[in-house]
Amino acid sequence: MAKIRVRYESGEPERVIEFDPREAPFQHDGRPASILDVLVGHGIPLEHACGGNCACTTCHVIVKQGFEKLAPADECEDDLLDKAPGLTPTSRLGCQAVIEDPDAEVVVVIPRYTINQQT
């Protein structure tokens, strides 16, 4: 089983999800087996204002472990991450970062400010 450990900058308690990527999708938003798909499909909210279609940065997560286990970002994701508040070298969009390895262990941090309401 693959595992995602979810930590929060806000200090909320850590959550752990075990899942089989081959059973994806777990719900209807984001790419199947993406971090967004796994989290939302297991009852853990992750903002995704565009519906998980790689059109905003609200599902921005910071990958602390297992970055190399994720399918690489494409140009659309890179362009959006470029505008994400609090960007780090291991930032990904949850809706696009797919976990294919059934033995992957990934640790992500949900930033305190995931929104991009730049008004």
Partner 1 sequence: MAVELEARVARIVEHGPDTRSLFLHGQRLAYRPGQFISCLLPVGGEMLIRPYSLASDPEDEELEICLDLVPDGPGSRYLYGVRPGAALRFTGPWGTFVLDRAHDAETVFIADGTGIAPIRPMIRRALATEPRHPVRLLYGTASEDRLLYRAELEGLAAGRSPFRFEHVPSAALRDQVARRWIEDDTGRSRHFFICGVGQIVPTLRDLLRGAGYERRAVQYEKW
Confirm or reject binding of residue 72 to partner 1 (CB under 8 A).
no
Report which DSSP code applies to 12.
Answer: P
Using CB under 8 A, which of 7, 8, 50, 69 touches partner 1? 50
Using CB under 8 A, which of 24, 36, 54, 59 touches partner 1? 54
What are the backbone dihedrals phi and psi of residue 88, each rounded to the nearest 5 degrees, phi first?
A: -130, 170
Beta bridge partners of 107: 5, 65
As to burial, measured by CB atoms within 10 angstroms (0-12 exposed, 13-18 middle, 19+ buried), residue 1 is exposed
Instruction: Decide if 77 contacts 93 (C-beta within 8 A).
Output: yes
Closest CB to partner 1 among 27 and 69?
Answer: 27
CB of 24 to partner 1, least distance (A): 18
Handedness of CA 111, 4, 35, 70 (dihedral sign): positive
Tokens, residue 16: 């752990």
Confirm or reject binding of residue 115 to partner 1 (CB under 8 A).
yes
Using CB under 8 A, which of 44, 49, 73, 107 touches partner 1? 49
CB of 69 to partner 1, least distance (A): 26
Interface with partner 1 (CB under 8 A): 29, 45, 47-58, 75-76, 79-80, 82-83, 115-119
